[in-house]
Structure 1
Amino acid sequence: MANSRFPVPDSRILVFLYLFSLSLRANILAVADNKDAIVVGINREGNGSALPQGENADVGGSGGYSGVEISELCNIDIQGFLPPPYGNVSGFICKPIWNTFILRYAQRDDHVMTIILSAIYTTGWVGMGFSKDGMMAGSSAMVGWFNKKGQPRIKQYYLQGTRSSQVIHDKGELPLTNVPPVVAIHGAMIYMAFQLKFENHLRQQPIILAFGSRYPKHFHLTHHVDKRTIMFDFSGGSSSVLYVSSREKKNHGALGMIGWGIILPVGAIIPRYFKHKDPLWYYLHAIIQLVGFIFGLATVLLGIQLYNKLNVKNANISAHRGIGIFILVLSILQILAFFLRPSKDSKFRRFWNWYHHWFGRLALFFASVNIVLGIQIGYAGNEWKIGYGFLLAVVLLAVIVLETLSWMKKRSDKTTAPPTFQMNPVQ
């Protein structure tokens, strides 16, 4: 109830409080804009001191920056807060590549590349990885952050797998030079600088960008908030996003393991050990091998799709791809053998049997080799290795048991067969 001595309407009170809050907010922002901290950690171990930003914004997030403002960040003079050689490298190319991530790089004639990655930062960590095939597993990355005490940290990590326990610090395959890496904060941005020396001029390279909002614990990275894989052309500065999900890779591996690792071997076992079930063995063999061929064909098509998305040169991937196509050709020849099967009385039946048997065995052998190679280059993990090892052991055990039973049966038939008598001719 309003006091009669102060007849101020409620609406005026609300307007006054609103204007007061706007004024207070403007003063706070003005004070914050004047506190532009510059901090750098330049030693080899990443020790030093720094004052991190606040803890409420997202690392690498937009932070209220528009696209125009992001591109204008390339005009910031880095000489004022980055030590040599990072501050005085000439010929930097600067490209906004994802979200608020900005990449500066310069590549010399001796293949030494200086890289400076920056992003809006509050807490957590920021990382840039170099991948062989566009996938996170098997890549090496540089990661920088400021801990709770404001101390800068920058380390190389080897991403052995997709789990946090498989991200190993102080490991990796990046060819770092003797120039110590640097992590710094300038305003609202974190800057991570390092040098690499490659054997050849770096051109197209899959790189992985990621950030986390929580501090690493004992140098163990927390799970990333977001990540992006892009194909970056260091010779021209262009980039394209690589949309390769782990699900596509798992589907490719699962189809190959089911088709070439289970169905086709089972289909090959039937005609060798169950021919006494005539003509059932023939129809089972034909149907099972047809289903296995469909799975194999789907595996190759999905693999070609993955290869085109990755668009990288890797000897292991090329070998895996070549073996897969070779197996597909052998499988197609086996399908053609079904239509070219001569009659039992034909003089070509013996040659057809050789062709059909040995091409099939050759396809199954290379299929098992390619599955193992795929698990290795895909960094599929121990569960895939154990799973395929178990399946392979079951198939081999079944073959050993069936071969033993077949040998025992043949031997038993020979011993129990009635003796044959030859009558002497009448004298």
Structure 2
Amino acid sequence: MSHGSEHLPLTYYEVKARNHALLCTIGFLILLPLGALLPRIIRTFTQRWWIAHFVIQFLLAGPIIFAGWALGYQTANILYTGPRFSDPHEKIGLALIILYLVQLFLGLFIHFVKIPFFHGHRPPQNYFHAILGLAILALAAYQVHYGLTFEWAFATGNLHEVPKSAINAWEALVIIFWALYGLGLLLLPRQYSQEKQRRQQNKEG
């Protein structure tokens, strides 16, 4: 970066790239983690968590994620850093949007289609839904970090460097989510105990 360029305004392309990064960070590293923490933490205190989970994961996060992804695609076309989906950032971005859609449909299937063969036990797709959700969040964290530390400079020419505060914010978001999720796992014994009680009540009823 040339000396004094930090005082120059962002270029048109940098603004689009920055907005892409902001939207995807809000969607993938703030809203989706919030929606994942909600059932992990409060489901042992109330069974009325699904609507809030759906609103956050789809109605709030969805438009932001789709807008951020579309903006990234447009920016890549404008900057033309090579054929589309030829570099790691674009490939991971495509994978994330596909996995997000799969996760949405899987969540709707789990909620609305009840398979009777498990007799109140949690079916395999529920575990897969949880594991896939965590995998998406881990991949998204890597993707944002890659975008901040490599893709920005590669795509824009690094006239303006990514501020250290952006890296610090990324670190904080990742640490806070995984710490809170880890604490939420401590509620698993309580959750399993409640589910066992409900199965017994259903048998007796």
The TM-score bracket by the shorter chain reads 0.7 to 0.9
Q: How does 1:43-192 map to 2 (within 5 A)?
A: 159=1, 164=4
Choose from 107, 112, 116 the match for 1:345: 116
Does residue 375 of the first structure (1) align with residue 148 of the second (2)? Answer: yes
Question: Distance between the aligned counterparts of 1:333 and 1:267, measured in 2?
Answer: 16
Aligned residue for 1:280, secondary structure, equals: coil
Aligned residue for 1:375, secondary structure, equals: helix
Question: Distance between the aligned counterparts of 1:359 and 1:247, measured in 2?
Answer: 32
Shift of 1:338: 3.4
Identity of aligned residues (%): 21
Shift of 1:403: 3.2
Choose from 71, 87, 91 the match for 1:302: 71
Question: Distance between the aligned counterparts of 1:339 and 1:316, measured in 2?
Answer: 29
Q: How does 1:17-56 map to 2 (within 5 A)?
A: none
Question: Distance between the aligned counterparts of 1:392 and 1:353, measured in 2?
Answer: 24
Choose from 98, 114, 121 the match for 1:329: 98
Question: Distance between the aligned counterparts of 2:171 and 2:85, measured in 1?
Answer: 21
Higher share of residues assigned helix? 2
The AA in structure 2 aligned to 1:313 is G
Higher share of residues assigned strand? 1
TM-score, with normalisation over the residues of structure 2?
Answer: 0.73
Aligned residue for 2:81, secondary structure, equals: coil
Answer yes or no: is the 8 Å Cα contact 2:40–2:184 preserved in 1: no
Q: Tell me what 2:49 maps to.
A: 281
Q: Tell me what 2:128 maps to.
A: 355
Shift of 1:344: 5.5
**After the TM superposition, which parts of structure 1 deviate over 4 Å for at least 4 consecutive aligned residues?**
314-317, 346-349
Q: Tell me what 1:399 maps to.
A: 181
Choose from 355, 366, 389 the match for 2:139: 366
Shift of 1:400: 3.2
Q: Deviations over 1:246-278 (max 9, x none)?
A: 221111111111110011011111222221344
The AA in structure 2 aligned to 1:299 is G
Number of equivalent positions: 177
Q: Are the structure 2 counterparts of residues 380 and 317 from structure 1 closer, same or farther at C-alpha, using a change threshold of 3 Å?
A: farther
Aligned residue for 2:116, secondary structure, equals: coil
Question: Distance between the aligned counterparts of 1:325 and 1:314, measured in 2?
Answer: 14
Shift of 1:402: 3.1
Answer yes or no: is the 8 Å Cα contact 2:33–2:177 preserved in 1: yes
Aligned-pair RMSD on alpha carbons? 3.1
Q: Deviations over 1:201-256 (max 9, x none)?
A: xxxxxxxxxxxxxxxxxxxxxx67x99xxxxxxxxxxxxxxx84322111111111
Shift of 1:399: 2.2
Could you tell me which runs of 5 or more consecutive residues in structure 2 were left unpaired when the two chains were aligned. 153-160, 194-205
Q: Are the structure 2 counterparts of residues 390 and 338 from structure 1 closer, same or farther at C-alpha, using a change threshold of 3 Å?
A: closer
Q: Tell me what 1:66 maps to.
A: none
Q: Tell me what 2:171 maps to.
A: 389
Question: Distance between the aligned counterparts of 1:165 and 1:309, measured in 2?
Answer: 22
Question: Distance between the aligned counterparts of 2:68 and 2:25, measured in 1?
Answer: 9
Q: Tell me what 1:269 maps to.
A: 37
Q: Tell me what 2:197 maps to.
A: none
Aligned residue for 2:74, secondary structure, equals: helix
Question: Distance between the aligned counterparts of 1:314 and 1:376, measured in 2?
Answer: 21
Question: Distance between the aligned counterparts of 2:180 and 2:39, measured in 1?
Answer: 14
TM-score, with normalisation over the residues of structure 1?
Answer: 0.37
Shift of 1:346: 4.3
Q: Deviations over 1:116-148 (max 9, x none)?
A: xxxxxxxxxxxxxxxxxxxxxxxxxxxxxxxxx
Higher relative contact order (CA 8 A, sep 6+): 2
Q: Tell me what 2:200 maps to.
A: none
The AA in structure 2 aligned to 1:338 is G
The AA in structure 2 aligned to 1:345 is P
Q: Tell me what 1:320 maps to.
A: 89
Could you tell me which runs of 5 or more consecutive residues in structure 1 were left unpaired when the two chains were aligned. 1-158, 167-222, 228-242, 414-427
